[in-house]
Structure 1
Amino acid sequence: MKNPFKKVRLFTVVAMLLSVCVFSSCDEDSDSEVLLGEWQKKSDFAGVARSSAVSFVIDGKAYVGTGYAGSIRLRDFWMYDPASNNWVKKADFPGAARSAAIGFSANGKGYIGTGYDGVNYLKDFYEYDPATDTWTQIEDFPASARYGAIAMSFADKGYVGAGFDGNYQKDFWQYDPATATWTEQVGLQGAKRLNGFAFTVNGKGYVGGGQNNSVYQTDFLEFDPATGQWRTLKSLASDQRPNEKYPTPRTYAATFTIHNNGYLVGGTTGTTSGNDVWKYDPATDTWTELGTFDGGIRDGAIGFGIGEYGYVGLGKSGSLRFDDLWQLNPSIVSE
């Protein structure tokens, strides 16, 4: 009698191999390489497990809040101190509970805005002062209400753009805390996108990933705030990066910056989440794969860099949501 489980086992093995390929690199070179970095589990997040939260860093401390717990959206707000490896509850975010918002820090204060409350796309914005643990509502985001936007900051100004308002967007705006005003910038040079990734390195911003009309985007862009202009870099595709390793297209990836490099962790292609880790070097426009994230596959996580270390936490895998936090030490070398 034929064993029906043989086919099941074979299918499972094939599926696992395909999943590794999807969230690795399109480069077929399998030569062994020296991988940098070691992950260490830190103190669990003190709030409920969630995905699509926001985070920003001020004076060596991370601030985390909002998000989606699977049945409810959230507005609680927390501070993580890496020196004591401890979470402290802060004043709740005063706007509507929401997920898929954006957060950034500028000029010593934090900002959270846009997002989705389960019914409405949002455009309200709030400023957080860590010195007094207080929130102040500022001028609304001047473009359309939306969720899944990107954000970045450079010293004393924040930038917000792209996302989804019923249509996919690629506009880009600057917020200046000194004048409490928004100013429209040159829009993204590449594609429109929802849930793209963004990070800053050495005074420039980098944007990629996301999807536009269900197409996962491969373009990769550099923004220079000094000139207000975008530059198109080599896309994350084999025709522009032959014989190179690079991350495959994705949404909901976590990012952070340390040691003059940008880092990209996990994300999803819509059907499969990943746990791959990538380091980007702007000086050479090259990507290096750093193995896998020890916290497992996930998307919709938070990421931030503080001092010598990078951090990734929260997020989800399927319907399972996480409340963990992991620290990457990139200076450790392993074979």
Structure 2
Amino acid sequence: MKQRLLFAFFALSLFFTGCGSDNGLDGNWIKGSSFEGRPRGGAVSFVIGDNVYVGTGYDGKDALNTFYKYSLQEGWSKIADFPGIARREAVAFTANGKGYVGTGLDEEDNRLADFYEYTPETNTWAKVANDFAGGARQNAVAFSINNIGYVGTGYGFQEGEDRNYLKDFYKFENGNWTKIAFDGEKSRNATTFVINEKAYIISGDNSLKYVWEYDPTKVSGTSNGWTKKKYLDNDNKREDVQRSEGVAFVINNKGYLVTGKLGGYSREVWEYDPSKDEWVERTSLENEIPSREDAVAFTLDNRGFFTTGLASGIYLDDTWEFNPTMKETDDDN
């Protein structure tokens, strides 16, 4: 056991002292308030108003059902536990002022299809009557546009087939799931963000190589609403900026793709401007920030953050904010 721990800390130290971010790029990382709960990876997050809610996940020993709320004014506080089966690798979205959490893996690695609804005014959870129509899965993606939730891709079972990468997509409206089209590739551990009521999906295992934009206002008899956008290499022929288990947040109508795995962990940060369909590299994770997978990210008051995650066997609870208009500084507290 001692040898394992020593190896884990040694491996983590390589991420602290390895490739730095002094590359002349724009942006600065600032240390935020550490996550209140147990360190974990594979959690979910959703934002309602001025608060983000972070919960579920795995701490290296147990699947978790604890949930916490964070606001810029009041910091972290515990809320009611998630009432369903403790899980990791689930998804979450917000609709009509309520949070929704579902799918994922339980303690015994069984895939789940149930969903639960959180009401912040009463700090209560309730089971959604209809389970996810796409069936049990893990590592899917979820987003919401105009109070409609969307869930798709992931890893699970297809009808008549064994476990597989998935590409099916469903929308959740008025308590019901409806299947919609998706033109992208099968994938799990992809990343998604929403800008101006349009969703963007990128990366993941099995490589969603292009950005796929979903605009529900374009759904018609001749269009399913999906448009293929630019490949993530920014015309530099660099396929290694793709990643699995990355996260994204939005600042000033631009998406930021951070953390995740490229074989090893990624330190690179890429900014996507949908108005130009253009990728630009920004300041990488700074030396004191452990590279990681399985984090969660969120946007509050037009400010982008990520927290928790897994780094070489060590579960994390640190929180970091990215300011794209600042230059990198040594004073990041």
TM-score, normalised with respect to structure 2: 0.84
CA distance in 2, matches of 1:81, 1:246: 37
Matched, 1:167 2:164: yes
CA distance in 2, matches of 1:133, 1:174: 25
Superposition pairs of residues 214-293 of structure 1, within 5 angstroms: 216-228=207-219, 229-237=225-233, 241-243=234-236, 248-269=241-262, 271-293=263-285
Q: 1:247 to 1:80 in 2, by over 3 A?
A: farther
SS in 2 for 1:48: coil
- Shift of residue 246, structure 1, vs aligned partner: 8.1
CA deviation vs aligned residue, 1:152-203 (integer Å, no higher than 9, x gap): 1113111000000011110111111xx211111112x121001011111111
Matched, 1:184 2:179: yes
Q: 1:208 to 1:49 in 2, by over 3 A?
A: same
CA distance in 1, matches of 2:203, 2:136: 21
Q: For residue 5 of structure 1, what is the aligned residue in structure 2?
A: none
Cα contact 1:245–1:287 (8 A) shared by 2: no
Q: For residue 222 of structure 2, what is the aligned residue in structure 1?
A: none
- Shift of residue 334, structure 1, vs aligned partner: 5.0
Counterpart amino acid of 1:242?
D
Counterpart amino acid of 1:114?
T
Structure 2 portions without partners, runs of 5+: 1-13, 157-162, 220-224
CA deviation vs aligned residue, 1:4-59 (integer Å, no higher than 9, x gap): xxxxxxxxxxx99xx969xx9xxxxxxx75513x2221221111111110001111
Structure 1 portions without partners, runs of 5+: 1-14, 25-31
**Aligned with residue 320 of structure 1, among 314, 317, 320:** 314
**Aligned with residue 154 of structure 1, among 132, 145, 159:** 145
Counterpart amino acid of 2:112?
L
CA distance in 1, matches of 2:237, 2:327: 21
Cα contact 2:232–2:279 (8 A) shared by 1: no
**Aligned with residue 144 of structure 1, among 135, 144, 147:** 135
SS in 2 for 1:218: strand
Counterpart amino acid of 1:312?
F
Q: For residue 132 of structure 1, what is the aligned residue in structure 2?
A: 122
Q: 1:234 to 1:308 in 2, by over 3 A?
A: closer
Q: For residue 120 of structure 1, what is the aligned residue in structure 2?
A: 110
CA deviation vs aligned residue, 1:298-322 (integer Å, no higher than 9, x gap): 1111100111311111001110110
| Worse-superposed segment, 322-331 or 98-107 | 322-331
Q: 1:243 to 1:143 in 2, by over 3 A?
A: closer
TM-score, normalised with respect to structure 1: 0.84
**Aligned with residue 100 of structure 2, among 97, 111, 117:** 111
Cα contact 1:109–1:128 (8 A) shared by 2: yes
Aligned length: 300
CA distance in 2, matches of 1:222, 1:146: 23
CA distance in 1, matches of 2:315, 2:267: 15
CA distance in 1, matches of 2:89, 2:39: 15
Counterpart amino acid of 2:251?
I
CA distance in 2, matches of 1:97, 1:276: 32
SS in 1 for 2:268: strand
Q: For residue 47 of structure 2, what is the aligned residue in structure 1?
A: 57
> Which structure's relative contact order is higher, taking Cα pairs within 8 Å and 6+ residues apart?
2
Cα contact 1:191–1:219 (8 A) shared by 2: no
Cα contact 1:309–1:330 (8 A) shared by 2: no
Cα contact 2:45–2:53 (8 A) shared by 1: yes
